[in-house]
Amino acid sequence: MSSLPPQPLSPLDGRYRAAVAPLTDYLSEAGLNRARVEVEVEWLLALTDRSLFGTSPVSDADKTRLRALYLEFGQSEIDWLAEREAATRHDVKAVEYLVRDRLDALGLSEIAELTHFALTSEDVNSTAYALTVQRAVTRVWLPKLTAVVDALTALAVEHRDAAMLSRTHGQPATPTTMGKEVGVFAWRLERVARQIAASEYLAKFSGATGTWSAHVAADPDADWPGISRAFIESLGLGFNPVTTQIESHDWQVELYDRVRHVGGILHNLATDIWTYISLGYFSQIPVAGATGSSTMPHKINPIRFENAEANLEISGGLFTTLAQTLVTSRMQRDLTDSTTQRNIGVAFGHSLLALDNLQRGLGEISLAEDVLAADLDANWEVLAEAIQTVVRAEIAAGRSSISDPYALLKDLTRGRRVGASDLAEFVQGLDIGDAAKERLLALSPARYVGLASAVVGRL
């Protein structure tokens, strides 16, 4: 059997490429290298702006040309770095050589020795990862999550008054509305999304073991911790001043745990919508030309929600591994975090793919209110809660002598189907006040939804 031409091994780079492509600007190898170049260039400019070691600030024109190295980072730089890394066997060193090479080409070789000055690779890496993850989350992932929350909120508002039989423990229970149930997910997701939006993205910039030793050896009078903090904060990041050789990754652990938490809520959403579809509560809107089943022409499979469910499980497992692995580093540094962090994009990729499927799926369903109404009308026994609660209130008010209203209703309804006429006859015979009787006789399962519509108003 002949070998296939080169193919992507991951489906994220194959069939799902279009859905996750925006993440590659930040969380691919090329995205990471572009951010590394950005850190190297900006550090070089920070040093010369302070006229350290007898240098002078670079002209505005030369700054623009230097910054173009990362702002216009493209295939030629990607190829250059791949070739150089094959020789250096060190990715960050290859980036340093790239910057030095471009300095020579720009006629700025006199400041070339300040490239990567006093840095360990992890100063560059921690800053580059903080930049790329921050940008991927705030520019790609969070907006997609927001779009899903917006879709849920719109559905909640649209169906806030659509009465629906609840199924606690899978059994008929006190009615609610579809809008309120969908709104629960919007409320949950928005809360965790706010926590993610407030996340810290930290970097360290303190040398080989977090002590600024080389910096102080080069210039003992400079305020290196202050210079480092100002530099990191100028990039829009938070500064971690107390580290080993690596930034401790605790901010990443916190972020990935929260993103995994969002994934758990979304997984719950996917399985609930799938179940509502199976019950006939939602019908799926046919997509022209689409095939639901290869052999059963009538079917429209809920593939959006099934796809989302599976990808959330994959991303959740990866985020759990990231959080568990990145929290530990032996002594002053080991290399386990290096290969682990290369999978950040894979974890976010599966999460983004799930969000994309959920957004699409929520736009391809239609509420079958006739099915909801029929289900409610077949389960009048759910009013037993209302009846026994009203009787309790009547007893408390001295308007009833019934001794055990719960047992009375249990005998009537438990394990039995009762209809509207059965309950009406039962209520007519109760020893309660006339006003209470009238309220109960006016009830139906479809009208027994309490403040469900008002709850949606809190979104």
Residue 131 one-letter amino acid: L
Q: Report CA 119 to chain centroid distance, whole Å.
A: 33
The Cα–Cα gap between 191 and 143 comes to 15
The Cα 74–Cα 70 span in angstroms is 8
Separation CA 248–CA 240 (nearest Å)? 9
As a whole number of angstroms, the distance between CA 380 and CA 73 comes to 67
User: Contact, 129 vs 409, CB < 8 A?
Assistant: no
- The contacts of residue 227 (CB under 8 Å, 6+ apart) are 46, 50
CB count, 10 Å around CB of 296?
9
Other CB atoms within 10 Å distance of the CB of residue 286: 10
Direct distance between the N- and C-terminal alpha carbons of the chain, in angstroms, rounded to an integer: 59
At 433, list the tokens.
Answer: 């006040």
Closest by CA position to 319, among listed 395, 255, 238, 406: 255
Within 210-338, strands assigned E span: 238-239, 282-284
- DSSP label of 169: T
Write down the residue that tokens 């080993």 correspond to.
244
**168 has which bridge partners?**
171
Among 308, 300, 316, which residue's Cα sits nearest to residue 358? 308
Residue 106 is which amino acid?
L
**159 labelled catalytic:** no
Task: Return the amino acid letter for 108.
Answer: L
Which member of 10, 59, 278, 293 is catalytic? Answer: 293
DSSP annotation string for 73-120: --HHHHHHHHHHHHHHS-HHHHHHHHHHHHHHHTT-GGGGGGTTTT--
Would you state the structure tokens that stand for residue 124, as one six-digit string? 């560059």
Cβ atoms 251, 200 nearer than 8 A: yes
Which among 2, 169, 294, 366 is annotated as catalytic? 169
Question: Residue 23 corresponds to which amino acid?
Answer: L
Residue 392 CA: distances (Å) to CA of 104, 359, 403, 435, 437: 88, 45, 9, 14, 13
Q: Is 126 a catalytic residue?
A: no
Residues that are catalytic: 169, 293
